[in-house]
Chains A and B, each alone.
Chain A
C-alpha cells in the first residue's frame, strides 16, 4: 500500500494512536479542570463547591457539558458570522497544537521539533486572534473593549514570556523541549533560572488571561468581555480553551523549570502529572487570592519591571554560560 512496508504502517498507526491518546487526555484533563477549579475555589473560600453529582461531584463536568451542548447556539444578527464562528475554534486549535511539542515522558510525546519552544510561542501568539476576532466580530462595545485589552496584554506579555525562556534555552543549548528536560538531570532549572521562572509564571498567567490578569473578561467592567455575545458550545470552546491554556502553561512550567518527567522512584509520567497538577492548583489559588490590577498598572508592571528583569536575566545567564564554556 503506497509502497510502505508493514513496519512503516505500524509506526504510523502507533504515532496516530499516541497523538489521539494525548489529545484525548489533554482535553479530558481540561474538562475535568472545570470541576477541579470549582472544588478548589470552594476549599479556599471555606465552602464545598459542587459535591452532589456523582462521587465528590465529579460528574458535574458531564452535567455541565450536557447543559452546554443543549443550549441554543445563537449568532447575533449584527455579528460578522464567519469570523464569529471561526474565533472560538482558533483558541482550541492553537492551544491543542501547542501540546504537540510537549514531552510528557521519555517516550510519550507527539513530535520533537528542533524549534519546539518557538513553536509554542508561535501558537500562543496566534491565540491572540481568537480573542481579538471574537471581540470584533461580536459588534458589541464590551466585546470590542475586551478584544482591545487582550491584544495589548497578550502581545506585551509574549515579549517577557519569550525573553524569560531565553535563559532556559541558553542553559540547554537547544529549543528542543526534550533536550531541555534532559539538560535538567543534574539540577532543575528553577534554581539557576528563578527570576525567569517568576516572569514566566506571571507572563503565562497573562497570556492565558487568567485571574488576576483576566482584564479582557473583567465582569465588573465588561460584562463578559470578548465572549459577551457567545452562547452554547461556542462559549464552551472559549471556556475549555481557557482550561487547556492552564494545562498548557502548567505543563510548560514543569518541562522548562521543574525537570519534566525527571524524578526518583516513581515512573516519569506520574512525576509529570504531579508537577503539572501542582501548578494547575497554583493557578486556581492565584485566582482565589489575588486582585485584578488596573489596565495601566498591568502594562507598566510588564514593561517597567518584568522586561528589565528578563533582560538582565538573559545577560547574566549568557555571561555565565560563556564563562563556563
Chain B
C-alpha cells in the first residue's frame, strides 16, 4: 500500500513536470541542438567521431517573437523546412517582407513577397537555404536563437549581423 501510493505520487509529479516543461518550451524558451555545418562559424558541429557524445552546439531559442512575428534582419531563427515539416532548420534571416534582395551568384533582384522572408546559412558554401528553396513563409518560423549554452567555451549571446552589400539602402 505504501509503495503504491509512493508510485502514484511519483507518476503524478513526473506528469505534472512534463506538462509544465512542454508548455514552457512551446510558449517561452526552448533548447535545441544544432547539427551540420551550414551556420559555421556561429555554430560549430563537432566531429562525429565520438559516438554517444553531444554532437553540435546546444542553443537557447525564445518564442516571444512569435506573438507578433516581428523580426529584424540578421536574427538567427529556427524554422520548419518548407519541403519537410518534420525537419527544423536554423539559419540567419537576411531580408524581411517587402525588401529587395540581390540573389547571390546572379545579378537578379528579387522582392520578398508579403509574409515571407529570406534565410541563408552563414557558411554559404554548404548550406541549404533560400537560394535553393526561395523565400519561406514567416508562419514556418518557430523561434529566435539568442544564446549558445553548450559547449562551455563558447557560451554567449548571438549577435545580429548581415552580410554586406546584399540589401540596397532604402
Do these two chains really belong together in a complex? Answer: no
Chain B residues within 8 Å of A, Cβ to Cβ: none
